[in-house]
Amino acid sequence: MKTLMLGNEAVARGLYEAGCAVVSSYPATPSTEITEAAAKYPEIYAEWAPNEKVAMETAFGACLAGKRSFCGMKHVGLNVAADPLFTIAYTGVNAGMIIGVADDAGMHSSQNEQDSRHYARAAKLPMLEPADSGEALAFTKLAYELSERFDTPVLLKMCTRVSHSQSVVETGERAEPAPVPYEKKPAKYIMMPGYAKLRHPVVEERLAALAEYAETTPLNRVEAGSDRKIGIITSSTSYQYVKEVCGDKYPVLKLGMIWPMPDQKIKEFAASVDLLTVVEELDGFIEDHCRALGLALAGKDYFSPIGELSQNLVAEKLGAVPDSGKALEENIPARPPVMCAGCPHRGLFYTLNKLKLTVLGDIGCYTLGAVPPLAAIDSTICMGASVSGIHGFLKASGGERDGKTVAVIGDSTFMHSGITGLVNIAYNESNATVIILDNSITGMTGHQQNPTTGFNLKGDPCTKIDLESLCRAVGIRRVRVVDPYDLGQCETAIREELAVGEASVIISRRPCALLKYVKHKAPLVVDTAKCVGCKACMKIGCPAISVRDGKAGVDATLCVGCGVCQQLCRFDALQAPQEV
């Protein structure tokens, strides 16, 4: 059947059709929907793991047991899982195993735009790179064949524009590959030095065999062109931009297998054209390899390593005429993302700003606490870095910054990698105050369950990790819970915990206002007779509040009656509707 699917949904369909049995991932834009879509197939066991390292090791365990497995993550998630990655590369697999990784050129929803292709080279693993949903489905199925044929995990590399674009796919039936029997093989699966030394040569031989396969596989194809003045090597979305601009004019070598590369094929292609050109997003990965083969080419000297490419950018560099439009001659105010009306993080960040604290931040919706007028965050690095970072910050400051510094981290992020930092705080004794922003869900990626919510990926009730008990169990004696809608309670708790001279955890607990089960109150109304236009209510940066003609106004379509703004109004002008 022909249907439209997101690239991510197509990967999930490929997993289903290839008989994948176990999927373990951590939610992350732009890779989240692979696992969400996989969970909809009853034949696939799918779960959210606490982090990518756990997910990858779970998927490895599943393939070891003889079933095809998958783990999915974003580019920075692969950093977290890099430890198992480099050694699973040595052991190889039993049944097939795919590692899905989605890059985010343009940083639509990421803290950096690293190029994950480097991992394939560094770990000496094959990497396939689909350019649309149809290829995402087909490459996923093929990846299992390669995984089992070459005894290797296979990296499936996605990117935002492939993951989040719908295009046409032809779906097929599910195959049920027979489980591969598990056999104890110490020399293959126990990577202590004596055995690992025996496996490294196997890795090198496998890479050579894969390079040979790369020469003949239809994954890497030459598309003839009418004009041989330029020949283009490309892959992924860059291929789409090239075809959009050039059609069949220039010959194209499209790489569907980005590592190892087909050296001979590349050399022959280069010899058949006047000017070899490499069009690729982010780093000059293909380019560097071609240069190492001794080929002269045009690449990153034309196409920037920064941000996404587009058809106009490619047209401009290839000497075609890019399309252009006419912008409005008007100062258009920016519209950055903001915390939603009723967001439980708002009251907490307002308090942190008010107390002028140094705040080490983390990854999630609450990173928006960095934006004015809340402007309450000092640093954001990666998952868990707030909790580890505050410890170092305080240790380096010799007590001078104690009582003036906090770390903030979400519930899901805390479970991902905040807990290890907290262990360090307890063990090595700093006076850190860690605030866990517990909104009872993984918010930014679109409401995924996590170990603290009491529900699993399929939505079934399951063991709920108790944050208070967990923090106490690692040795934090002072653990307390506040309601972030209550500004007075927040301020008191933060002041007290900063004053005590020992490590503490404050759990700021209220579910995300967008969760379906959260009951909203009626929108507030402004008593214009009382409002003096002082703009105190504007200090929390709520999108539902504005001041026009000297009076505050509340947007009734946005306001959920959380009442945080009411606590800032000294004139009692913001009221629940029945009080007016």
Partner 1 sequence: MQTKNIMIVGVGGQGTLLASKLLGRLLLDQGYDVKVSEVHGMSQRGGSVVTYVRYGDKVYSPVIDKGEADFIVSFELLEAARWLEFLRPDGRVITNTQQINPMPVITGAAEYPEDLVAKLAASGARVDAMDALALAGQAGSSRAVNLVLMGRLSRYFDLPEELWQQAIAKSVPEKFLELNRMAFHLGRNS
**Which residues are at the interface with partner 1 (CB under 8 A)?**
2-4, 6, 29-30, 32-33, 108-109, 132, 161-162, 164-168, 237, 240-241, 243-244, 310-312, 322-340, 365, 367-368, 371-373, 444-446, 535, 538, 541, 543, 545-547, 557
**Closest distance to partner 1 from the beta carbon of 276 (Å):** 21
CA separation for the pair 67, 83 (Å, rounded): 22
According to DSSP, the β-strands at 275-279 and 45-48 are unpaired
Q: Which is nearer to partner 1, 446 or 488 (CB)?
A: 446
Q: Which is nearer to partner 1, 289 or 317 (CB)?
A: 317
Residue 335 CA to chain centroid, in angstroms?
22
**Closest distance to partner 1 from the beta carbon of 538 (Å):** 6
The position carrying tokens 């915390």 is: 339
**Closest distance to partner 1 from the beta carbon of 312 (Å):** 4
At 357, the amino acid letter reads L
**Closest distance to partner 1 from the beta carbon of 270 (Å):** 24
Q: Which is nearer to partner 1, 274 or 329 (CB)?
A: 329
Which residue, 556, 472, 471, is CA-closest to 521?
A: 556
**Closest distance to partner 1 from the beta carbon of 162 (Å):** 8
Q: What is the 3-state secondary structure (H, E, C) of 426-457?
A: HHCCCCCEEEEEECCCECCCCCECCCCCCECC
Q: Which is nearer to partner 1, 230 or 554 (CB)?
A: 554
Question: Which of the 8 DSSP states describes residue 287?
Answer: H
Q: Which is nearer to partner 1, 2 or 356 (CB)?
A: 2
Q: Which is nearer to partner 1, 108 or 521 (CB)?
A: 108
Q: Which is nearer to partner 1, 94 or 380 (CB)?
A: 380
**How many CB atoms are located within 10 Å of the residue 1 CB?**
6
Which residue, 215, 213, 158, 159, is CA-closest to 14?
A: 158
Q: Which is nearer to partner 1, 463 or 557 (CB)?
A: 557
| CB 394, CB 405: distance < 8 Å | yes
| CB 257, CB 219: distance < 8 Å | yes
**Closest distance to partner 1 from the beta carbon of 281 (Å):** 12
| DSSP one-letter string for 389-426 | HHHHHHHHTTTTTTTSEEEEEEHHHIIIIIHHHHHHHH
**Across-strand partners of 547?**
552
**Closest distance to partner 1 from the beta carbon of 541 (Å):** 6
| CB 157, CB 98: distance < 8 Å | no
Q: Which is nearer to partner 1, 454 or 523 (CB)?
A: 523
**Closest distance to partner 1 from the beta carbon of 47 (Å):** 21
Q: Which is nearer to partner 1, 324 or 463 (CB)?
A: 324
Kind and range of the H or E element at 313?
helix 311-317
Q: Which is nearer to partner 1, 110 or 431 (CB)?
A: 110
**Closest distance to partner 1 from the beta carbon of 436 (Å):** 20
Question: What are the φ and ψ backbone dihedral angles of 391, each rounded to 5 degrees?
Answer: -60, -50
Kind and range of the H or E element at 211?
helix 193-216
**Closest distance to partner 1 from the beta carbon of 507 (Å):** 23
| DSSP one-letter string for 448-491 | B--TTTSB-TTS-B-----HHHHHHHTT--EEEEE-TT-HHHHH
**Closest distance to partner 1 from the beta carbon of 545 (Å):** 7
Which residue, 282, 190, 273, is CA-closest to 231?
A: 273
Q: How far apart are the first and last CA of the chain?
A: 59
